[in-house]
Amino acid sequence: MSNKVIHAIYNDDDVLLDAVKKTKAAHHHIEEVYTPFPVHGLDKAMGLASTRLAICAFLYGITGLIIYANLLNYVMILDWPQDIGGKPSFAFYQNMPAFVPVMFEGTVFFAAHLMVITFYMRSKLWPFKKAENPDVRTTDDHFLMEVGVHGNEEELVSFFQNTGAIEVKVIEK
């Protein structure tokens, strides 16, 4: 198995999107695409599965809601009940309207903070990690498609030049 990859560099996002579609139609495996900004439709063109982060956000929010509801029940009803503004403190459901803002904020707090942690872990981003960007121009105005070489190298280079790439390089990984 070869350790070579082709870096096809484009200067237009529409040309890149067409090149990705042509590459997938030719049954070449796209390792990664580096872009300076999100390209609409690129994930579908690459055949990437949809993210499950929304499910995580929902579960984290439910966790925060349960924790804050139990915290309010313990602190305001069981541990130290007080008569605040004439409201009874005998049961949780009697004070529920006063607890809704606190439970909402707890839900948002848990969902937001745990989603950031999940995103960083899933993306393998942590402090002091070196950047994995193969070409610094992809942070400014160029787009790079990385495709593994599994066959005739010259044929792949000419294929990517025909897709509109302004530069095609074969890199040893």
pLDDT by residue (tens digit) across 127-173?
Answer: 888 888 898 899 899 999 999 988 788 899 999 999 999 999 999 87
Band of the pLDDT at 94, cuts 50, 70, 90? Answer: confident
d(CA 171, CA 155): 15
**What is the three-class DSSP state of 100?**
helix
Predicted TM-score (pTM) of the model is 0.71
What is the rounded end-to-end Cα distance, in angstroms, of the chain? 12
65: exposed, middle or buried (Cβ count in 10 Å: 0-12, 13-18, 19+) = middle
Which residues sit opposite 8 in a β-bridge?
145, 168
Q: What is the pLDDT of residues 56-81, one digit of tens each?
A: 999 999 999 999 999 999 998 888 88
Q: What pLDDT, in 10s, does the model give residues 23-47?
A: 999 999 999 999 999 999 999 999 9
Percent of the chain having pLDDT more than 90?
Answer: 61
Q: How many CB atoms lie within 10 A of CB 91?
A: 10
Quick one: pLDDT at residue 97? 85
115-124 pLDDT, tens per residue?
Answer: 999 999 988 8
Per-domain residue ranges for the chain?
Answer: 4-50+131-172, 53-122
Overall size of the chain counted in residues? 173
Asked if residues 68 and 106 have their Cβ atoms less than 8 Å apart, the reply is yes
- Contact call for residues 167 and 2 (beta carbons, < 8 A): no
Query: Could you confirm whether domain 4-50+131-172 is CATH 3.30.70?
Result: yes
Report the alpha-carbon distance of residue 123 to residue 35 in Å, rounded.
16
Which whole-number Å values give the CA distances from 126 to 32, 41, 117, 120, 130, in the listed order?
20, 28, 10, 7, 9
